[in-house]
Amino acid sequence: MKVKGHCLCEKVEFSISVESKRFDACHCSMCLRWGGGPALTVEAENGVDFADEAFVKVYSSSQWAERGFCSHCGTHLFYRLKEGNFWNVPLGVLEDRNSFEFSTQIFVDHKLGNYDFANKTKMMTEEDVLKAFGAET
Ligand SMILES: [Zn+2]
Ligand SMILES: [Zn+2]
């Protein structure tokens, strides 16, 4: 199904396709640094379809991934792998955000000790994530 989204200043508007209405939380140190808290994200099946990319800026955050944001208001727009076609979009930028179900928490072994989500979710450590993505350590 199609879901629409936009940044805070509305200069960036887009739509994504999702297989199911689920979102995940990432507790890794890069997401924490980038967003100030754990990242709540939705997997976009075939990337992000932007109405206009003029204000979309991309930051290369690691050897394997990039993070996109609005160059006018700073809203975070996506996380994507450089290889393949894996895209995550923050839950909060989607119009339908309240209808998604909290599914999985990843990098739970990196989570700070001073907060916990009360939701019952699937929990994955860094090792679990690397195994699931078939990466070599
Ligand atoms: Zn914006
Ligand atoms: Zn992360």
The token duo for 134 is: 């078939």
Tell me the C-alpha distance between 41 and 120, whole Å.
Answer: 17
- Tell me which residue of 50, 45, 46, 32 sits closest to 93, measured CA to CA: 50
CA 73 to ligand 1 centroid distance, Å:
4
Closest residue by Cα to residue 129 from 106, 110, 111, 112: 106
- Ligand 2 centroid to Cα of residue 41, in Å, is 10
Pair of tokens at residue 48: 């992000």
Q: Which residues surround ligand 1, an ion (CB under 5 A)?
A: 7, 9, 11, 70, 72-73
- The mean per-residue pLDDT over the stretch 50-67 comes to 96
E strand spans, the chain = 2-6, 13-17, 22-26, 39-44, 49-50, 56-60, 65-70, 76-81, 87-90, 101-106, 122-124
Query: Which ligand has the nearest atom to the CA of 67?
Result: 2
Which whole number is the average pLDDT over 10-24? 97
The fraction of the chain above a pLDDT of 70, given in percent, is 97
Model-level pTM? 0.92
Residue 137's pLDDT is 46
Between the CA of 89 and the centroid of ligand 2 the distance, in Å, is 12
Query: Domain 2-132, CATH 2.170.150.70 — does that match?
Result: yes
